[in-house]
């Protein structure tokens, strides 16, 4: 389709906002509405650095951070305000509504339940509260007239449960109990036992309670805390056919990504930023670093192991990218035909949306309409969709049809066999 309208048309923010999108990597505790954080802190008598929106944006949730510890500082306040069922349900409900508002029609919210366990508020209670909020939002959203009429894809969502690579007693009462019960045990044993407990709770939530728990994740500092400490947990998850993802290649080199794939059966990788960085390899057994990276990239691409790319978050925590996003390896990922999905990481802490992330990708890396469509669709295809495969296929087909109609209305024919 080559008309004067088509030549004038551009992939602008308005079109990107209208397109159906997914978010496969978004932390619940990093994505609260700032007004909700203020409300919860006041109700629960938790001191914040400021009680105003502008004050918190200036002091805590910034556009740019000096380093990763400063970036993570905000989680002290958000997690502190999410210590009961009511607050967790509210946060999950509002996250889904915020996603829907920008046409993110599929979201997988992840969080670490062991940070929220208190007294009689158990792991099962934590997961039920988040699921209740998400299901309430889903039911409300899918009563929308455009959804009922089939003009918009219905809203779908799932929960990814996060284990922590390492933790300290001060992180939560639940974590503290491990150190009290095992005062002489090696730290790596304690970390592994905690993740195995969480994996068991994840399986029970999915299979016995019927909650929309779709996957398992490993988060936290990579350096010095290898994924191998958590193989028992991942083997259990793998044996029950749940989705697996691991934060890797964000704070360590390519060998961390390979370990996540081999030791933890990772279907997806959170970030994977240093996939191509041979200079970051630290394993002395790897002699030919260039060849190792080439082999790893081919391995990841061939097996369609998806990288959950978070552009804004990476810019905020990695000095190498702060002033020039074009240095981000996203371009190399695409050139190598690696499967990628654009994600927010933390909507509040990074002050971003999926629309923001896609706009950055289009403007920085020059994505064509066809490339953008393929990228967005792959986020749905590589999701841990909470339902049978044939239902997922029908859902993705509806998403794809909706995308193509929106593109066509703006002068871009991105259907198979056509040219933009």
Which carries the bigger pLDDT value, residue 378 or residue 2?
378
Q: Do 314 and 321 touch, CB atoms closer than 8 A?
A: yes
- For the segment 338-372, what is each residue's pLDDT rounded down to a tens digit? 999 999 999 999 999 999 999 999 999 999 999 99
- Catalogue all structural domains in the chain, each as residue range(s) with its CATH number: 4-409 (3.20.20.140)
| pLDDT for the residue numbered 67 | 79
Kindly report which listed range (9-18, 50-59, 265-274, 359-368) carries the lowest average pLDDT score.
Answer: 9-18
Tens of pLDDT, residues 305-328: 999 999 999 999 888 898 999 999
Residue 366 φ/ψ region, left for φ over 0, alpha for ψ in the -120 to 50 degree band, beta for the rest: left
Q: How far apart are CA 278 and CA 265, in angstroms?
A: 23
- At 18-30, the pLDDT tens digits run 999 999 999 999 9
Predicted pLDDT at 417: 58
Q: Flag whether pLDDT at 407 surpasses 50.
A: yes
The answer to whether residue 5 scores a pLDDT higher than 80 is: no
Is 308 catalytic? The answer is no
Looking at 108, 156, 222, 250, which residue is catalytic? 250
9 pLDDT more than 90: no
Residues 94 and 82: their CA atoms lie apart, in Å, by: 13
- The pTM (predicted TM-score) of the whole model is 0.95
SS3 labels along 187-221: HHHHHHHHHHHHHHHHHHHHHCCCCCEEEEEEECC
Rg from Cα positions in the chain:
21
In 3-state terms, the chain is what percent helix, strand and coil (to 5)? 55, 10, 35
Name the residue among 211, 213, 216 with its Cα closest to residue 244.
216
Average pLDDT, stretch 118-140? 96
User: What does the DSSP assignment read for 63-104?
Assistant: SS-SSHHHHHTHHHHHHHT--SHHHHHHHHHHHHHHHHHTTE
Do β-strands 340-342 and 156-164 pair in parallel, antiparallel, or remain unpaired? unpaired
pLDDT at 66: 85
**Six-digit token string for 155:** 């809203």
Mean pLDDT of 20-41: 98
């Amino acid at each position: 389709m080559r008309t004067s309208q088509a030549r004038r048309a551009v992939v602008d923010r308005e079109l990107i906002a209208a397109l159906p999108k997914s978010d496969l990597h978004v932390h619940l505790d990093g994505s609260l509405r700032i007004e909700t954080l203020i409300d919860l802190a006041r109700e629960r008598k938790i001191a914040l650095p400021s009680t105003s929106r502008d004050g918190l944006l200036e002091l805590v949730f910034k556009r740019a951070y000096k380093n990763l510890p400063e970036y993570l500082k905000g989680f002290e306040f958000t997690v502190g305000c999410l210590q009961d069922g009511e607050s967790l349900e509210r946060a999950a409900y509002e996250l889904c509504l915020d996603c829907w508002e920008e046409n993110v029609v599929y979201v997988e919210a992840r969080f670490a339940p062991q940070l929220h366990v208190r007294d009689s508020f158990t792991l099962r209670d934590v997961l039920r509260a988040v699921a209740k909020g998400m299901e309430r939002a889903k039911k409300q959203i899918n009563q929308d007239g455009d959804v009922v009429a089939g003009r918009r894809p219905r809203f779908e969502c799932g929960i990814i449960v996060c284990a922590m690579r390492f933790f300290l007693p001060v992180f939560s009462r639940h974590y503290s109990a491990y150190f009290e019960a095992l005062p002489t045990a090696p730290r790596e044993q304690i970390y592994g036992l905690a993740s195995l407990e969480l994996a068991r709770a994840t399986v029970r939530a999915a299979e016995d309670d019927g909650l929309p728990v779709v996957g398992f994740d490993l988060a936290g500092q990579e350096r010095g805390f290898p994924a191998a400490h958590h193989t028992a947990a991942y083997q259990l998850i793998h044996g029950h056919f749940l989705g697996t993802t691991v934060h890797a290649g964000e704070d360590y080199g390519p060998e961390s990504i390979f370990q996540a794939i081999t030791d933890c059966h990772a279907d997806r990788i959170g970030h994977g930023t240093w996939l191509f960085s041979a200079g970051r390899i630290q394993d002395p057994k790897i002699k030919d670093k260039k060849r190792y990276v080439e082999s790893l990239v081919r391995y990841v691409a061939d097996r369609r192991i998806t990288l959950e790319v978070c552009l804004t978050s990476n810019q905020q925590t990695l000095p190498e990218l702060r002033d020039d996003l074009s240095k981000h390896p996203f371009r190399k990922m695409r050139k190598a035909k690696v499967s990628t999905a654009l994600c927010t990481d933390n909507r509040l802490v990074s002050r971003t949306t999926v629309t923001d992330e896609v706009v950055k990708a289009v403007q920085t890396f020059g994505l064509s309409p066809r490339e953008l469509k393929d990228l967005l669709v792959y986020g749905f295809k590589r999701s841990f969709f909470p339902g049978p495969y044939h239902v997922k296929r029908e859902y993705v087909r509806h998403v794809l049809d909706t995308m193509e109609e929106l593109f066509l209305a703006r002068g871009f024919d991105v259907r198979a066999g056509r040219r933009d």
